Copies of this chain bind each other. A is one copy, B any other.
Amino acid sequence: MTNQSRISAQIAFLTEADKLKSVLRATTLCDASRRENSGEHSWHIALYAMTLAEYAIKPVDINRVIKMLLIHDLVEIDAGDTPIHGDYDPAEIAAIEERAADRIFGLLPAEQGKEFRALWDEFEAAESDDAVFAKSVDRVQPVISNLESGGVSWVDYNVTVEEIESRVGVKVKRGAPAIWEFLKAQIDGWFEKRA
């Protein structure tokens, strides 16, 4: 691969990535003015990771965590966002996301595509300490958006406090229990006020 075709492939990947800014999520901005997109969400959770690294349950390489979070949602360009509280077939989504990963990371020069893909596979597997913490952070940010926005996606999906515990709490606790402890009191308060 010449230098020109190498850089051309990298720019093609980065231009394709632009489409993530048009993938809408279930959650809104904190001020509830509009739904959040997966591009700005990816930025926000990378900043979350950078800010909250000290709460990882096991020591993590925060730089790998940040890189994972920067690429973790790219497959949504083909697969769309899968709302945490939505109704879907996980196996079907996983298959669509696998094909999306093949296509999107396949735009890069081969060895770089393999490196990014390995990082995405690691995030999806949610087994390494870095991936477990990254997954926690990915679950924390929508909770804060909901607490700030008046619970837009909790209301839309008619979510109970028990469902938040089982779909969100379990994952946050696994990677960052101190953050969950902090959030849990606020979530309980929100649901009590609403009852």
Question: Per-residue CB proximity of A22-43 to B under 8 Å, as 1/0?
Answer: 1000000111010011011011
A3 an interface residue at 8 Å Cβ cutoff?
Answer: yes
A141 to chain B: closest residue by CB: B14
User: Is the Cβ of A39 less than 8 Å from the Cβ of B44?
Assistant: yes
A48 touches B14 (CB 8 A): yes
In angstroms, how far is the closest chain B Cβ from the Cβ of A35?
11
Q: Are A50 and B21 in touch, CB under 8 angstroms?
A: no
B145 touching A18 by the CB < 8 A rule? yes
How far, in angstroms, from A44 to B42 measured CA to CA in the complex?
9
* Copies in the assembly, this chain: 2
Name A148's contact: one of B15, B37, B178 (CB within 8 Å).
B15
Taking the closest CB of chain B, its distance from the CB of A94, in whole angstroms, is 23
Residues of chain B lying within 8 A (CB to CB) of residue A42:
43
What are the residues of chain B within 8 A of A19 when measuring CB–CB?
Answer: 30-31
Judge whether A22 and B15 touch: CB under 8 Å: no
Q: In the bound complex, do residue B37 and residue A7 qualify as a contact, i.e. CB atoms below 8 Å apart? A: no
Given A3-B178, A46-B70, answer yes or no on A51-B18 (Cβ-Cβ < 8 Å): no
CB of A114 within 8 Å of the partner chain:
no
| 8 shortest interchain CB distances as A-B pairs | A43-B43, A63-B63, A39-B40, A18-B30, A40-B40, A21-B40, A42-B43, A7-B182
